[in-house]
Amino acid sequence: MTKKAIGFIGLGAMGNHMARNLVKAGYSLAVYDLNPKPVEEIVSLGAKKAKSSADAAKSVEVVITMLPADEEVKAACLGPGGVLEGAKPGTVLIDMSSIAPHTSKQVAAEAQKKGIRFLDAPVSGGTTGAEKATLTIMVGGEKALLDEHMEILQVMGKTIYYVGDVGMGETIKMVNQMLVGINLAGIAEAFVMGTKLGVAPEVIYKIVRASSGNSFLIDHRVPNYIFPGNFTQPGFAVDLLRKDLGLALESAKVSKVPLFMTAQAYQYFTRATAEGLGKMDMSAVIELLEKTAGVQVRGKAE
């Protein structure tokens, strides 16, 4: 079967790797980003350069967007020079950005008016997962449409879940991000507290990992980011997590679910952004508490 032609919009920390993997897998790509640098990089691998989102969507069967947040997705899809302006009826738009479920529904409804079908397919797994094509992808929309495009998603991810109607992929992604934010704020507090009370950070790490307080984020963020105090290496930015927690709080307003812990975590990451840590990995949130407590959680994992 011939491979579908794809328009790919948003070649940042994630999209860059995802687009590369598609090119490597033999897909014909038309790529667009506001930033010309990653466009040139992917074009040098064999992709075509598009002049706008509309142009990237013009002669393809599938358009993939991987953009920072709701505003960028709306601009690139619904705005002037956007996907809906260029795409022909029958095109499928797959938005892989992490945005609010209600925005996915809005984009899907506008797309439908033009005969364009829509899937929301946000991801988890970070830049490493994007590079190694091991992302977890959570999909909302018609199941048959997902089945039709499974092969494309499998080039970028390892585990692909069908969640439900449009917006449900984003919903589960939001739920995951609530847990990330709450867990990370908790790790910061617990490790700073233990260190302040005189337990060596390595000892906290070793014993917690063998106990019920352990988590995926402890396993990964403590040895790789917190212990070396290196928060500038590629990771998941404070600003992005703050955005995701904000989406959960926004949804909570509408659904009238009180989210006490998420609200606290949101304040942690807002403070981190306000103090200039927005572009750093989300684990940098511990630095604020370290300063306040006058200790540093540094060490070497065994």
Catalytic residue ranges:
173
Would you say how long the chain is, in residues? 302
Query: Is residue 72 close enough to count as binding ligand NAD by CB under 6 A?
Result: yes
Q: Whole-number minimum distance, CB 83 to ligand NAD, in Å?
A: 10
CA distance 26 to 28: 7
CA distance 246 to 263: 8
Angle, CA of 226, 228 and 232, to the nearest 5°: 75
Count Cβ atoms within 10 A of the Cβ of residue 250 and give its class: 0-12 exposed, 13-18 middle, 19 or more buried.
middle
Q: Whole-number minimum distance, CB 77 to ligand NAD, in Å?
A: 9
Task: Tell which one of 6, 8, 10, 166 touches ligand NAD (CB under 6 A).
Answer: 10
Query: Exposure pattern of 8-45 as b/e (b: 16+ CB <10 Å)?
Result: bbbbbbbbbbbbbbbbeeebbbbbbbbeeebbebbbee
Query: Is residue 280 close enough to count as binding ligand NAD by CB under 6 A?
Result: no
In the region spanning residues 104 to 163, those forming contacts with ligand NAD, defined by CB under 6 A, are 123-124, 126-127
Query: Is residue 246 close enough to count as binding ligand NAD by CB under 6 A?
Result: no
Query: Is residue 84 close enough to count as binding ligand NAD by CB under 6 A?
Result: no
CA distance 131 to 158: 12
Which one, 177 or 195, has the nearer CB to ligand NAD? Answer: 177
Stretch that binds ligand NAD, among 61-69, 113-121, 162-170, 196-204 (CB under 6 A): 61-69
Query: Is residue 301 close enough to count as binding ligand NAD by CB under 6 A?
Result: no
Angle, CA of 77, 131 and 41, to the nearest 5°: 65
Q: Whole-number minimum distance, CB 72 to ligand NAD, in Å?
A: 4
Query: Is residue 188 close enough to count as binding ligand NAD by CB under 6 A?
Result: no
Residue 223 contacts residue 210 (beta carbons within 8 Å)? no
Task: Tell which one of 35, 159, 214, 267 touches ligand NAD (CB under 6 A).
Answer: 35
Query: Is residue 86 close enough to count as binding ligand NAD by CB under 6 A?
Result: no
Residues that bind ligand NAD (CB under 6 A): 9-15, 32-35, 38, 53, 66-69, 72, 75-76, 97-98, 123-124, 126-127, 236, 240
